[in-house]
Amino acid sequence: MSMIAKLRLETIFDFILMILGIIILIVSWGYGFGSFSRPGPGLYPFLIGALVLFFSLILLVLELKPKKSEPVFKEGGSLTFILMVIAFCLWIVVMPFLGYVLVTFLATFAFGKIMKLEGWWKPLAVSVGTAFFIYLLFDYWLYIDLPRGILG
């Protein structure tokens, strides 16, 4: 398939998504939004339709720009990919033993070093921030019981 045919197919698909978003907006408008204390049946579909419309418009605009294609992993791509897969697998296997906060910290740090994030402070800061956010999100706000491991 040539690049022009592929571009046309992507453009057609994005245009169909845009039309779908508009249809969802129109149909959900008739259901009513309700209020924030008692949301109506049309509120959620309207928000989804607005997101579909918004992102399809972004995709259509981005297709008009000339594209520069660069590889995702520039140097040592296959090794980087393999190390990322290993880190993800270890994250899942080790989580019941060490707990989700500690394993998230270690995995995020490993990802930072695998992707060659500069120095030690940047990966450390990203790891601490990610682990703290994961703790707040799942344990504090959502009350989801994830493995605590050695932390208790």
The structural domains of the chain, with segments of one domain joined by +, span 3-64, 77-151
**Could you give the CA distance from residue 128 to residue 72 in angstroms, rounded to a whole number?**
26
Residue 32 is classified by DSSP as -
pLDDT of residue 35: 77
Show the low-confidence residues of the chain (pLDDT under 70): 1-7, 67, 69-76, 151-152
Tokens for 78? 């296959």
Compute the CA torsion angle 117, 84, 79, 67 (nearest 10 deg). Answer: -70
- Confirm if 77 and 68 have CB atoms less than 8 A apart: no
pLDDT of residue 121: 92
pLDDT of residue 75: 64
**Could you give the CA distance from residue 36 to residue 66 in angstroms, rounded to a whole number?**
43
Size (the chain), residues: 152
Give the three-class secondary structure for 143: coil
pLDDT of residue 2: 53
pLDDT of residue 74: 62
- Confirm if 101 and 145 have CB atoms less than 8 A apart: no
Provide the whole-model pTM. 0.53
